[in-house]
A and B are shown apart, each in its own frame.
Chain A
Amino acid sequence: MTASAPTTHAAVHAAGVWKIFNEGLANEVTALQDVSVEVADGEFISLIGPSGCGKSTLLRCIADLTHATRGDIKVAGLSAADAREQQKYGMAFQQAALFDWRTVRRNVELPLELQGWDKAKRGERAMELLEMVQLADFADHRPWELSGGMQQRVAIARSLAVDPPLLLMDEPFGALDEMTRERMQNELLRIRKETGKSIIFVTHSIPEAVYLSDRVVVMSPRPGRITDVVPINLGERNEDTREAEVFFAGVTAVREALRGHTSGGGVRARVGEV
């Protein structure tokens, strides 16, 4: 099932992607079966589904951290490998993966060091990013001195360092408590508004997917594939959004999609539209 979006130059174009582990052996697993998805420039899409549905695998294929068995993947018009080499995306993982032996600031500088930026420029940019995530005061602290939520904010700041047009996020808020999670979601939306980046966000949480996304891509396992795409239109998020009718409608729509109930093929009406 394809999930196509309207308009222009695609941030990410994935067509007919297959990923098969241990092909030909007894323990062969089809992690991704004929998956196609287009992410428009500036769009926020979530990948959601139960364990084994391939959402993380798809993300890793796009990130060129693993190779698709079959299929075509283009990031900003380039092959996945070229996109990685040219640093066309930033990535955040479920673990913050900060280096214990570096200060917070130097952790954020890491991608810049790898790109050969000089010391002064790096420091400047790192502070800029830390300001954006409101952790500038902690620049000289060590990672273990920060809470889980703060570490993730540093990780997100790091993923923005080279100002890539695309962010790939693999359940970055999964290890956080609910209140911190909601705060981080608002943070992320604010950053996105300020920078206009495209984001692919993998999550387990239905409310999270609905709150953050323009479209929610629903996947299912064995074999991993896309089963539905739910468009979301919550408009401007504010503190009442999570209690709005429109929000619950979206959550319900995604939940039903996960259960396998759809209103039969074709394009769904966008939630929130009449």
Chain B
Amino acid sequence: MSSRLRAIWPPILIAVIFLGIWQVFVVAKDIKPYLLPAPSLIFSNFFGSLNLMLATSIYTATTALLGLLFGTVIGLLLALLAQRFIVVNHLFTPLAAGLAAVPIVALTPILNNMFDISSRTPRVLVTMIIVFFPIFVNVTRGLVQVQPVQLELMRSMNAQPRTVLRLLRIPNAIPFFFTAMKIAAPLAVIAALVSEYFGGPQLGLGSRIASSAANTAYGRAWAYVVSSIIVGLLFYLAVLAAERWAAPWTGRARSA
């Protein structure tokens, strides 16, 4: 059995078993949809309203993407500053560590008041803030934590700080960047989704899940959930692909 096949069949097997048990359980115990819909009901809802699923997914995905983009850019800029000016590092890193535990999404009502609630802006802003922290912390670490022997090597070759940044620190930080992206990308999707709970345009997945649930259209609600899982997975896989292209040396045994 080829090694790729070997890696895939255990989870697929477990998935099939899981879905099978779920389906049988619901049918046998005659469980009402408002408790737990059968997989068959969810799939029929999903494929039955595919266009709707697509439209709502695109709406939320766009919010997530915008937040991801801006948050990443700001995170990268600040990380460069933090490596260069230790003051910035001292100011922001403990803040980032502390705020990691804070439900930043709770800021949405405040932002809704400050910005136009009928636009995407408050949600993009919240997503931006959420994305900023893992990117900033990890990229700063990647820029700062170069091996001392490599710094000595650069010094022995009379390299200036800007050159050291370009030729050593930044390439060193690339794997750290992707580690952060693997956290930030799915997080951006969830943030975009949850921020839709606080009012504003009802065009996205979060709003639809809430309203379907309120209208007891549970099959539909779970179908939206499936859509959001797909969007999250797509974001994550995109990061994996980008990593493989940009940083093929990641994950290898470190050379001496």
- Which A residues are within 8 Å of any B CB, using their own CB? 63-65, 84-87, 89-91, 93-102, 110-111, 113-114, 142-144, 146, 148, 151, 175
Residue contact A100 to B252, C-beta cutoff 8 Å? yes
Question: Beta-carbon contacts of B141-179 to A below 8 Å, as 1s and 0s?
Answer: 000000101101101111100010001100110100000
Contacts of A95 in B (CB 8 A): 147, 149, 256
Chain B contacts of A110 at CB under 8 A?
Answer: 157, 167
Find chain B residues with CB under 8 A from A146 CB.
Answer: 255
Partner of B156, one of A63, A96, A99: A63
Other than the known A84-B158, A144-B254, what 17 A-B pairs have Cβ atoms closer than 8 Å?
Answer: A64-B155, A65-B156, A91-B153, A91-B156, A93-B152, A94-B149, A95-B147, A96-B255, A99-B150, A99-B168, A100-B249, A100-B254, A101-B247, A102-B171, A113-B167, A114-B157, A144-B249
Provide the residues of chain A in CB contact with B167, threshold 8 Å: 99, 110, 113-114
User: How many whole Å from B166's CB to the nearest CB in chain A?
Assistant: 10
Does the CB pair A97–B150 fall under 8 Å?
A: yes
B13 part of interface (Cβ distance < 8 Å): no
- The distance in angstroms between the C-alpha atoms of A207 and B157, with both chains bound, is 31
A110 to B255, CA, bound (A): 17
> From B147, which residue of chain A is reached at the shortest CB distance?
A97
Q: List 19 A-B contacts (CB under 8 A).
A: A64-B155, A84-B156, A84-B158, A86-B158, A90-B156, A91-B153, A95-B149, A97-B147, A98-B256, A99-B150, A100-B252, A100-B254, A100-B255, A101-B172, A101-B247, A114-B159, A142-B252, A144-B255, A148-B256
Q: Which residues of chain B have C-beta atoms less than 8 A from A102's C-beta?
A: 171
Which residue numbers of B lie inside 8 Å of A, CB to CB?
147, 149-150, 152-153, 155-159, 163, 167-168, 171-172, 174, 247, 249, 252-256
Whether the pair B156, A144 counts as a contact (CB closer than 8 A) is: no
Contact assessment for B158 and A98 in the assembled complex, using a CB-CB cutoff below 8 Å: no
Asked if B153 and A101 sit within 8 Å, CB to CB, the answer is: no
User: What is the CA–CA distance of A87 and B157 in the complex, to the nearest angstrom?
Assistant: 7
Residue of A nearest to B155 (CB): A65
In-complex Cβ contact of B158 among A85, A101, A113, A142 (8 A): A85
Q: Is the beta-carbon distance between A93 and B153 smaller than 8 angstroms?
A: yes
B255 near A151: Cβ-Cβ < 8 Å: yes
Q: With A and B bound together, what is the CA distance between A101 and B247 in angstroms?
A: 8
**Cβ B256 vs Cβ A96 within 8 A:** yes
A101 touches B163 (CB 8 A): no
- For B253, what are the chain A residues with a Cβ–Cβ distance below 8 Å? 144
User: CB distance B158 to A143 under 8 Å?
Assistant: no
Main secondary structure of the interface of A (DSSP, over half): loop
State the Cβ distance, A197 to closest chain B Cβ, in Å: 16
With both chains docked as a complex, state the minimum distance between the C-beta of A18 and any C-beta of chain B, in angstroms. 21
Which residues of B sit under 8 angstroms from A114, Cβ to Cβ?
157-159, 163, 167
For B158, list chain A residues within 8 Å (CB). 84-87, 114
CA distance in complex: A110, B152 (Å): 14
What's the least CB distance linking A16 to chain B, in Å? Answer: 24
A101 to chain B: which residues have CB within 8 Å?
A: 171-172, 174, 247, 249
Q: Which of B149, B150, B156, B249 has the most CB of A within 10 A?
A: B156
Known: A63-B156, A87-B158, A100-B255. A93 touches B163 (CB 8 A): no
Chain A minimum-CB-distance residue to B174: A101
- Tell me the smallest distance from the CB of B137 to a CB of chain A, in Å: 22
Instruction: Let me know if B163 and A143 touch, CB within 8 A.
Output: no
Nearest 4 Cβ contacts at the A-B interface:
A143-B255, A91-B156, A101-B171, A144-B255
Closest chain B CB from A91 CB (angstroms): 4
Chain A residue numbers with a CB within 8 Å of B156 are 63, 65, 84, 89-91
B172 contacts which chain A residues (CB < 8 A)?
101
The CA of A100 and the CA of B157, in the complex, are separated in Å by 18
B160's nearest neighbour on chain A, judged by CB, is A114
Cα distance A87–B256 in the bound complex, in angstroms: 24
Q: Which residues of B contact A93 (CB under 8 A)?
A: 149, 152-153
Report if A142-B157 is in contact (Cβ < 8 Å); known contacts: A96-B255, A99-B171, A110-B167: no
Complex-state Cα separation, A151 to B256, whole angstroms: 8
Nearest chain A residue, comparing its CB with the CB of B249: A100
- Chain B residues lying within 8 Å of A99, measured Cβ to Cβ, are 150, 167-168, 171
Complex Cα distance, B152 from A143, in Å, reads 19
Q: How far is the CB of A101 from chain B (nearest CB, A)?
A: 4
Chain A positions within 8 Å of B157 at CB level = 87, 110-111, 114
What CA separation (Å) do A97 and B152 show in the bound complex?
Answer: 10
Q: How near does chain A come to B154, taking the closest CB pair, in angstroms?
A: 8
Assess whether B149 is in contact with A97, with CB atoms less than 8 Å apart.
yes
**Assembly CA distance A90 to B157 (angstroms):** 8
